[in-house]
């Protein structure tokens, strides 16, 4: 039976080994951050900072129609008021330790619009939704407690956030409220962050195109789809060939029938 001292020695040794492994892993992740991720975050900040400065100087609002099918009362909105910061600070926090690059702006229209909802669960869901999307609104119950009147300001805050995923050594992009109150997220390797990608993100941000938000499939899925398309094309060709074959048979049979009918008619005339 192991004595108490030996058991404690083993536990202490195990803890030291675990702490050492954690320290090595932490050092490896920190090296990856300093060598590959931080330069890309700095590049992202510089790129987007210049974009924001130009947009604000030009004061060029982007017209947004049909932002949400569920809230058609929003009408036509205008996208303006661009801001950029790092790590939640106003401006730049520590340029040599950037963990986030945030670009925020708003889509806003004139005034407010109102509507009523009935039912406790529906009212609670609406309140929670508007709070979660940071939409300015007020609401109050009427004499009938099951009915609530909502007044919503035509102002939608939008966020594009590049954020370091330290553990996985990658950079995540989170887009919130850009279209129909949707949330979109995507992970990038540091190598993927370049001028072309950032330009694509900004074009999507400015609603010039939607190429950035597109269906991405694995090579296995692509091969399976290509095989399915090829199989369907082959089947169509086989069916067309069979149809043509049957049409030829019918045509030949019809011609044969006409031929023998003509012979019969000619033979009958000669006998007369």
**Least reliable range by pLDDT among 25-29, 130-134, 146-150, 183-187:** 25-29
Residue 188, judged by CB atoms within 10 A of its CB (0-12, 13-18, 19+), counts as middle
Tokens coding 169: 């050594």
Q: What is the mean pLDDT of the chain?
A: 84
Relative orientation angle of helices 195-205 and 38-58, to the nearest 10 degrees = 40
Per-residue pLDDT, averaged over 159-181, amounts to 94
Lookup result for tokens 């269906």: 215
> What are the structural domain ranges in the chain?
36-216, 219-272
Structure confidence at residue 202 (pLDDT): 94
For the stretch 10-23, pLDDT in tens is: 888 877 777 766 66
pLDDT at 218: 47
pLDDT band of 129, cuts 50, 70, 90: very high
Cross-strand bridge partners of residue 113: 152
3-state class of 194 per DSSP? coil
Q: What is the pLDDT of residue 60?
A: 85
Question: Which DSSP string corresponds to 134-171?
Answer: T--EEEEE-SSTTEEEEEEEEEEEEEEEEEEETTTTEE
Is the model's pLDDT at 222 over the cut of 60? no
pLDDT at 5: 76
Write out the two tokens for 77: 């909105």
3-state secondary structure of 176: strand
249-252-255 Cα angle (round to 5): 150
Is residue 83 within 8 Å of 105, Cβ to Cβ? yes
Return the bridge partners of 174, or none.
Answer: 161, 185
pLDDT band at 226 (very low <50, low <70, confident <90, very high): low
Is the distance from CB of 135 to CB of 73 less than 8 angstroms? no
pLDDT digits (tens, 9 = 90+) for 81-112: 999 999 866 667 788 889 999 999 999 999 99
Partners of 176 in the beta sheet? 159, 183
For residue 236, the model assigns a pLDDT of 67
Q: In terms of pTM, does the model score above 0.85?
A: no
Maximal C-alpha separation, the chain: 131
Provide the token pair at 129.
Answer: 């939704």
Q: How would DSSP label each residue in 34-88?
A: IIIIHHHHHHHHHHHHHHHHHHHHHT-PEEE----SS-GGG-SEEEEEEEEESTT
Alpha helices per DSSP H over 156-218? 195-205
Tokens of 245: 């074959």
């Amino acid at each position: 039976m192991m004595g108490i001292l030996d058991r404690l020695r083993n536990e202490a040794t195990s803890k030291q080994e675990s702490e050492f492994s954690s320290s090595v892993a932490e050092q490896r992740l920190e090296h990856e951050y300093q060598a590959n991720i931080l330069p890309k975050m700095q590049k992202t900040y510089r790129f987007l900072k210049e974009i924001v400065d130009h947009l604000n100087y030009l004061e060029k609002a982007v017209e947004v129609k049909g932002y949400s099918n569920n809230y058609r009362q929003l009408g036509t909105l205008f996208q303006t008021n661009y801001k950029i910061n790092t790590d939640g600070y106003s401006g730049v926090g520590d340029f040599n330790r950037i963990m986030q690059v945030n670009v925020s702006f708003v889509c806003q229209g004139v005034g407010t619009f109102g509507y009523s909802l009935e039912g406790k669960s529906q009212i609670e869901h609406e309140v929670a939704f508007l709070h979660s999307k940071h939409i300015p609104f007020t609401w109050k119950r009427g004499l009938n407690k099951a009915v609530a009147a909502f007044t919503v300001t035509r102002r939608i805050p939008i966020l594009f956030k590049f954020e370091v995923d330290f553990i996985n050594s990658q950079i995540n992009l989170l887009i919130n409220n850009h279209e129909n109150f949707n949330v979109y997220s995507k992970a990038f390797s540091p190598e993927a962050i370049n001028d072309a990608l950032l330009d694509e993100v900004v074009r999507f941000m400015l609603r010039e195109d939607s190429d950035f938000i597109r269906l991405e499939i694995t090579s296995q899925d692509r091969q399976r789809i290509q095989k399915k398309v090829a199989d369907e094309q082959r089947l169509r060709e086989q069916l067309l060939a069979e149809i043509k074959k049957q049409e030829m048979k019918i045509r030949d049979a019809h011609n044969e029938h006409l031929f023998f009918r003509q012979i019969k008619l000619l033979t009958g005339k000669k006998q007369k």
